[in-house]
């Protein structure tokens, strides 16, 4: 017990030395936390952008719909189902949709397009569709008008107020034919979406396709992307075999792979970072041992058992590193919070390109507490590992030589 | 002069510390440079693919053609144009194509396709089409109505060699035309979205169906070297203001985006690594200073003035850095060379993702010579800046106190 | 190639030894008149629903055709006009005519098992195929030739081959099997309910059954038909279509 007391005293005897070692750990933790939080933030933002464009985090369909996306595979809208989904506390938004294809015609041209029937408010909550309106205004419940994507409006040479004709195949063999005034023009970052989509209210779409009360999907947003897998399987269980529940990872496996590859390459960078941090800490520790050779030699000479000395050293190091970690965590929290509220934006060519694709040109930070804890633990572990070497050297101390 | 010698000797007096510092600089440099090499390799490879296999350097169209791919918007007098272009020195190869958007139908289904009518010999030179073949033979001379289809599309529509398909599209007068073609070869590139959309036929067979005589919709130009791109593009735009002359950068803005993103990314990584390096240097030097208070005090007591002490410390850092640099660079260069020839194969976990974006899944890192001077500069500046704080600390202690220690 | 809209027979000829080509020609000729007008019911049958339409048709040779939907009420007045290889669709509810683009051609026509392309295909039974007699068979007590239709290399048809059973006495096409190039059966067409209508002996019930889908088919039943009543070319114009109510 007295060892601890002695360790503590030793630390304060040479404040500078102690502070430098603590600082090494302190800065390491900050650096690791900030980098880690930026990395996580960027990925989450990427997913959010890709996912909220259109697919949502999770979708619920009639079983078999994803493989054969036709009106025949839609399901009857059941309030009970919706209630079940809403019960899940992590689901923050449910947007019902009826989607199908049609020919969009203007006076001279016809082009194939994707027709999406949405509930305007719910859709906006989940995919922020309203933000994509660049001219005109957003849909309201009960509207008989239509929103058209920019690319499509250009190709058909249509403007606000013009009439768009949709023709296609309806539910159960009916013909779908309708005329709609254009209420707004949407801009999507994805060229696919920008060239080929139109939006109607759910009711208008159902009338067009003669698909009373049918839905092709529920599009869900969640408030914790980390829990994606859990929520998906929970819903699968809850809703039974009539429905299929798919996460965006299942619907867009190539995006998932892309993110995995990027994560892998980022881990390599992080690994290198840790290595460099180790060198920094190691150097510090080494110096500390070297500087105190005389003192340590003295202690051994006057009879302290080497083991005890090792423990003493270890205790000192643990105190130092631990305090460095804790202070590091405390300091990184405000930094990361600041970065989250005022994300690093970039400008110039890169920003231009990002915006063209519909991404926000920022580097966001993630304030997930797990990050701080993880980083601190990793650094703690590394620091302690590294300290074993100098402590080990203590064991080999030759007091006579040390005191020269 | 003496300062230099002092700095040098100081370094070797504490081998452990010096080695630690040298190693961390070497490691930092190695990591940074090698990561840059990987990204450069990926980028170069992608650009090369875009140019040599997909878009070529420059493409020429009728200005209205690319809006809706209507057959009527042909390049007037393509043979004459081709002859004139061939005379330009920087242009290596030209392929004139007719292009139509239509449907490919089998007994069981149909799919939207882009139909390219090509001259097989020219096309081979310009886009290496024959090298991408995985099955069948490239445009036999005797056979009629041959079709070259991408593997992804063939699989999707359950098509094999020698199967017949019906292509439907509109001709110059907006008539709906159908014609049967037979699959004589299947190709596969590293870009699956393209494989799923593009089919090739002989231009001599497509043109009569489109009723465009000897017209062409697209001329793809391959230049002798990449650097002349901007200059040639401008020249051609001046020569032919009535045509649309575009480079691969304009035709494939996503590729440009990749370039910018990767470059920005590289910078960020370097910054991070430099930060870690700086922090390591500061700490190690601080400890060293602390350890040598006695010695520093002694030096000052013996008459060495502050600026001189300061310089010695700075010089030590510089030497250490310079010692670490070659090691790091050599390592990075060596690994880049090795992996550059053998390639790093990441297909096991990333193939689908890579090819859906058009990237090959074997990476050939390329040593980033163009970044080298910047990187070196940054490292040296980082080292110097990092040593300032410890140096100042060293000076802050009055000699008398220092000697007491 | 489907004989769907143009299946009629003339008074039966004397049986003679004939080549496959001649047999097919006879069957083909029996399907055509200079003009024809008909009223038919088209029933689309699916596992979970069935829909019935009543359609009036006017045809002139292989060049012109007009189809007008008379019921159900939602689709009443919807018309399809074919001139050579082009098809226009008139939608009275929208007061719009659209010309069908290539991308629509392989889509299903009005939800049935026929495609828009089938409306357009000029009867190419003779020119697009080579024919051989592949055997005999008995269908509904009628003795038939089985003729193998092999597409000519340049013919723009998706089938690999067809096996058509043609009645020996009256040269009525009773049964057709549609194959792809690997020999997989893709579609089956059956003709039945042979009666006198419009002065000819014709099958008044046609069924088109896709081979790979269960409980799915399209049935055409002729209610009446008139042959060779003159129709002028100007009948087959959009303006006329709009007025035809």
Interface predicted TM-score (ipTM) of this complex, two decimals:
0.78
For B175, the closest chain C residue by CA position comes to C86
How many C-beta atoms surround the C-beta of residue C22 within 10 A? 13
Q: Could you tell me which CATH class the domain C4-243 is placed in?
A: mainly beta
- Answer whether B68 sits within 8 Å of A155, measured CB to CB: yes
How many Å lie between the alpha carbon of B357 and the closest alpha carbon of chain A? Answer: 9
- Answer whether A275 sits within 8 Å of B27, measured CB to CB: yes
Domain stop point among B219, B242, B265: B242
pLDDT per residue as tens digits for the range C62-107? 888 999 999 888 889 999 999 887 889 998 888 888 888 887 887 8
pLDDT at A395: 73
Q: Does A378 touch chain B (CB under 8 A)?
A: no
Mean pLDDT score across all residues of chain C: 84
Q: Are residues B144 and B187 in the same domain?
A: yes
Does residue B249 fall inside a structural domain? no
In B143-263, where do the E strands start and end? 146-150, 164-170, 176-187, 198-202, 218-223, 244-247
Q: How confident is the model at residue A203 (pLDDT cuts 50, 70, 90)?
A: very high
Q: Does A349 touch chain B (CB under 8 A)?
A: yes
Is residue A202 pLDDT above 50, yes or no? Answer: yes
List the domain boundaries for chain C: 4-243
Strand B110-118 with B198-202, pairing: parallel
Does residue B67 fall inside a structural domain? yes
Q: How many CB pairs under 8 A join A and B?
A: 131
pLDDT at A217: 93
Q: Are residues B285 and B361 in the same domain?
A: yes
Q: pLDDT digit of tens for each residue in chain B (405 aa)?
A: 777 787 778 778 777 777 877 887 787 788 778 878 888 887 888 888 888 888 889 999 999 998 888 899 999 888 899 999 988 888 999 999 999 999 998 887 888 899 999 999 999 988 888 889 999 999 888 888 999 999 999 998 889 998 999 999 988 988 888 899 999 999 998 777 888 899 999 999 999 999 998 899 999 999 998 888 999 999 999 999 999 999 998 888 777 777 777 777 777 777 777 777 777 777 777 777 777 777 777 777 777 777 877 887 778 887 888 888 888 888 888 888 888 777 777 666 666 667 766 677 677 777 777 777 877 788 788 878 877 877 777 777 666 666 665
Please give the Cα distance from B282 to A28 (Å, whole number).
12
Q: Are residues B229 and B262 in the same domain?
A: no
Is residue A261 pLDDT above 60, yes or no? Answer: yes
Q: Are residues B142 and B205 in the same domain?
A: yes
Q: Are residues B95 and B217 in the same domain?
A: yes
Domain stop point among B242, B266, B299: B242
Least CB–CB distance from B110: residue in C106, C120, C153 = C106
Average pLDDT over residues A67-72: 84
Nearest to A150 by CA among A182, A102, A120: A182
Is residue A184 pLDDT above 90, yes or no? Answer: yes
Q: Are residues B217 and B284 in the same domain?
A: no
pLDDT at A94: 92
Q: Are residues B362 and B218 in the same domain?
A: no
How many folded domains does chain B comprise?
2
Does residue B192 fall inside a structural domain? yes
Q: Does A365 touch chain B (CB under 8 A)?
A: no
Identify whether C72 is preceded by a cis peptide bond (ω within 30 of 0): yes
Does residue B251 fall inside a structural domain? no
pLDDT at C11: 30
Q: Does A389 touch chain B (CB under 8 A)?
A: no
Show which residues on chain B lie within 8 Å of chain C, measured between beta carbons. 102-103, 105-110, 112, 144-145, 162-166, 168-170, 175-180, 182
Q: 198-217 in A: which are within 8 Å (CB) of C?
A: 210
How many Å lie between the alpha carbon of C200 and the closest alpha carbon of chain B? Answer: 33
Average pLDDT over residues C187-211: 90
- Answer whether A177 sits within 8 Å of C46, measured CB to CB: no
Least CB–CB distance from B180: residue in C85, C156, C180 = C156
Average pLDDT over residues C138-161: 88
Nearest to A104 by CA among A141, A53, A155: A155
pLDDT at C9: 34
Q: Are residues B105 and B12 in the same domain?
A: no
- The answer to whether B117 and B203 are in contact (CB under 8 A) is yes
- Strand, coil or helix: B384: helix
Nearest to C100 by CA among C79, C126, C123: C79
Domain stop point among B183, B212, B242: B242
Q: Are residues B228 and B309 in the same domain?
A: no
Residue range of the domain that includes B365 = 2-51+256-404
Whole-structure pTM value: 0.77
pLDDT per residue as tens digits for the range A273-316? 777 777 777 777 777 777 777 777 787 788 778 777 778 877 88
Is residue A65 pLDDT above 60, yes or no? Answer: yes
- The sign of the CA dihedral A243, A247, A249, A253 is positive
Q: Are residues B68 and B217 in the same domain?
A: yes
pLDDT at C1: 47
Q: 60-99 in A: which are within 8 Å (CB) of B?
A: none
CA dist A48 → A43, A222, A360, B202, C161 (Å): 8, 11, 11, 45, 51
Neighbouring chains of A at 3+ CB pairs under 8 Å are B, C
């Amino acid at each position: 017990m007295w060892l601890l007391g002695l360790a503590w005293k030793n630390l304060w005897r040479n404040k500078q030395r102690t502070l430098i070692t603590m600082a090494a750990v302190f800065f390491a933790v900050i650096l690791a936390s900030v980098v880690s939080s930026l990395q996580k933030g960027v990925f989450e933002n990427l997913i959010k952008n890709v996912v909220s464009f259109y697919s949502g985090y999770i979708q619920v369909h009639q079983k078999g719909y994803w493989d054969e996306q036709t009106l025949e595979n839609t399901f009857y809208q059941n309030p009970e189902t919706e209630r079940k989904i809403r019960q899940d506390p992590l689901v923050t938004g449910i947007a019902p949709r009826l989607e199908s294809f049609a020919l969009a015609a203007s006076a001279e041209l016809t082009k194939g397009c994707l027709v999406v029937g949405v509930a305007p408010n719910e859709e906006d909550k989940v995919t922020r569709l309203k933000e994509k309106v660049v001219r005109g205004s957003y849909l309201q419940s009960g509207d008989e008008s239509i929103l058209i994507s920019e690319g499509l409006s250009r190709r058909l040479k249509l403007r606000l107020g013009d009439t768009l004709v949709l023709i296609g195949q309806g539910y159960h063999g009916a013909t779908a034919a309708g005329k709609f005034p254009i209420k707004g023009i949407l801009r999507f970052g994805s060229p696919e979406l920008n060239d080929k989509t139109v939006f109607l209210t759910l009711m208008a779409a159902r009338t067009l396709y003669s698909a009373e009360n049918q839905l092709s999907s529920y599009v869900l947003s969640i408030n914790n992307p980390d829990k994606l897998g859990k929520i998906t399987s929970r819903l699968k269980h809850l809703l039974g075999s009539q429905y299929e529940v798919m996460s965006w990872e299942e619907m867009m496996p190539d995006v998932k792979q892309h993110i995995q590859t990027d994560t892998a390459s980022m881990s390599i960078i992080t690994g290198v970072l840790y290595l460099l941090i180790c060198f920094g800490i190691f150097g510090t520790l080494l110096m500390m041992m070297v500087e105190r050779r005389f003192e340590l030699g003295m202690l051994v000479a006057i009879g302290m058992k080497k083991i005890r000395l090792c423990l003493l050293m270890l205790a000192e190091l643990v105190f130092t590193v631990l305090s460095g970690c804790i202070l590091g965590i405390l300091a990184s929290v405000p930094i990361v919070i600041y970065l989250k509220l005022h994300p690093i934006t970039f400008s110039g060519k890169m920003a231009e390109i990002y915006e063209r694709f519909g991404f926000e040109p920022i580097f966001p930070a993630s304030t997930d507490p797990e990050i701080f804890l993880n980083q601190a633990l990793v650094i703690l572990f590394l620091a302690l590992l590294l300290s074993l070497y100098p402590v080990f050297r203590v064991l080999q101390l030759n007091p006579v030589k040390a005191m020269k | 002069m003496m300062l230099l010698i002092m700095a040098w000797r100081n370094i070797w007096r504490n081998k452990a510390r010096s080695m630690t510092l040298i190693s961390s600089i070497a490691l930092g440099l190695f990591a940074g440079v090698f990561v840059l090499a990987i990204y450069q390799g990926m980028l170069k490879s992608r650009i090369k693919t875009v140019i040599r296999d997909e878009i070529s350097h420059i493409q020429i169209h009728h200005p209205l053609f690319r809006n809706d791919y209507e057959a009527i918007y042909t390049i007037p007098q393509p043979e004459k144009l081709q002859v004139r272009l061939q005379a330009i020195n920087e242009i290596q190869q030209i392929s004139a194509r007719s292009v139509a958007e239509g449907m490919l139908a089998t007994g069981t289904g149909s799919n939207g396709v882009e139909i390219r009518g090509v001259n097989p010999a020219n096309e081979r030179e310009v886009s290496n089409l024959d090298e991408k073949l995985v099955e069948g033979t490239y445009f036999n001379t005797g056979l009629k109505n041959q079709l070259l289809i991408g593997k992804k599309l063939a699989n999707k529509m359950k098509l094999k060699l020698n199967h017949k398909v019906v292509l439907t599209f509109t001709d110059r007068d907006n008539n709906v035309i159908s014609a049967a073609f037979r699959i004589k070869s299947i190709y596969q590139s590293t870009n699956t979205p393209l494989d799923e959309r593009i089919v090739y036929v002989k231009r001599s067979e497509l043109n009569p169906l489109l009723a465009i005589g000897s017209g062409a919709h697209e001329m793809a130009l391959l230049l002798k070297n990449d650097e002349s791109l901007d200059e040639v593009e401008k020249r051609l735009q001046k020569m032919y203001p009535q045509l649309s002359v575009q480079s691969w950068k304009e035709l494939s803005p996503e590729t440009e985006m990749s370039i910018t993103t990767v470059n920005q990314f590289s910078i960020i990584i370097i910054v991070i690594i430099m930060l870690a390096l700086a922090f390591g240097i500061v700490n190690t030097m601080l400890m060293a200073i602390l350890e040598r208070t006695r010695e520093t005090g002694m030096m000052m007591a013996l008459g060495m003035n502050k600026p001189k002490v300061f310089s010695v410390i700075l010089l030590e850092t510089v030497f250490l850095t310079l010692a670490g640099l070659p090691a790091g660079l050599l390592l990075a260069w060596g690994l880049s060379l090795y992996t550059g020839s053998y390639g790093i194969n990441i297909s096991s976990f990333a193939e689908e993702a890579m090819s859906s974006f058009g990237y090959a899944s074997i990476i050939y890192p390329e040593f980033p010579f163009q970044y080298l001077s910047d990187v070196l500069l940054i490292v040296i500046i980082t080292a110097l800046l990092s040593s300032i704080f410890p140096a100042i600390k060293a000076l802050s202690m009055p000699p008398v106190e220092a000697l007491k220690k | 190639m489907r004989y769907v809209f143009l299946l009629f027979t003339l008074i039966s000829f004397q049986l003679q030894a004939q080549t496959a080509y001649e047999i097919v020609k006879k069957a083909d000729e029996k399907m055509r008149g200079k003009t024809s007008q008909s009223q038919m019911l088209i029933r689309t049958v699916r596992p979970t629903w069935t829909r019935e339409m009543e359609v009036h048709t006017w045809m002139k040779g292989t060049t012109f055709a007009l189809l007008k939907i008379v019921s159900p009420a939602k689709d009443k007045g919807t018309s399809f006009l074919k001139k050579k290889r082009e098809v226009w669709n008139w939608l009275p509810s929208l007061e719009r005519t659209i010309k069908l683009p290539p991308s629509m051609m392989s889509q299903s026509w009005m939800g049935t098992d026929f495609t828009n392309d089938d409306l357009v295909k000029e009867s190419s039974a003779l020119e697009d195929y080579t024919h051989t007699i592949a055997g005999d068979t008995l269908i509904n007590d009628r003795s038939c030739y089985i003729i193998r239709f092999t597409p000519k290399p340049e013919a723009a048809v998706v089938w690999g081959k067809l096996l058509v059973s043609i009645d020996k006495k009256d040269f009525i096409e009773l049964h057709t099997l549609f194959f792809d190039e690997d020999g997989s059966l893709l579609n089956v067409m059956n003709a039945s309910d042979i009666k006198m209508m419009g002065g000819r002996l014709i099958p008044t019930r046609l069924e088109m059954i896709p081979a790979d889908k269960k409980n799915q088919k399209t049935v055409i039943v002729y209610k009446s038909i008139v042959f060779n009543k003159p129709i002028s070319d100007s009948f087959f114009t959009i303006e006329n279509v709009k007025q035809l109510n």
